[in-house]
Amino acid sequence: MPTYTYESIPTDGSAPARFEVVQRMNDAPLNSHPDTGEPVRRIITGGQGIKGKPIRRSTVVNKNLAGATPCGCASAALATATGRPAAALKHRHAGHSHGPHRH
């Protein structure tokens, strides 16, 4: 159940006093302090919101996908085009050479 912050509405010019009350979301807001009967108003505060599990992103790169290299070519596609095993291909991007295969 959420905790709501209330503030007293003093009639004598004194500083308002704040207090917290645990209520259901469907409960009506309080109009008076539960102990003193003094008029109160609900204060809107920035809560923590809803917290869930953090999103985890994988850092493993599938080198067979075209997006795995800056040029968009993939080791498996190059291996298929050249007939060589993917591990045997040198992937250099300075001159954009992939062994015998050129774009």
* 8 alpha carbon, distance to own chain's centre: 36
Task: Report if residue 8 sits inside a domain.
Answer: yes
pLDDT digits (tens, 9 = 90+) for 5-44: 999 998 888 899 999 999 998 999 999 998 888 999 999 8
Q: Which residues constitute the domain of residue 36?
A: 3-43
Q: What's the rounded Cα separation, in Å, for the pair 99 and 70?
A: 16
Residue 53: DSSP 8-state: P
Task: Report if residue 48 sits inside a domain.
Answer: no
Task: Report if residue 53 sits inside a domain.
Answer: no
Task: Report if residue 55 sits inside a domain.
Answer: no
Q: Are residues 37 and 8 in the same domain?
A: yes
Instruction: Note the pLDDT of residue 13.
Output: 85
Prediction pTM value: 0.44
Number of domains, the chain: 2
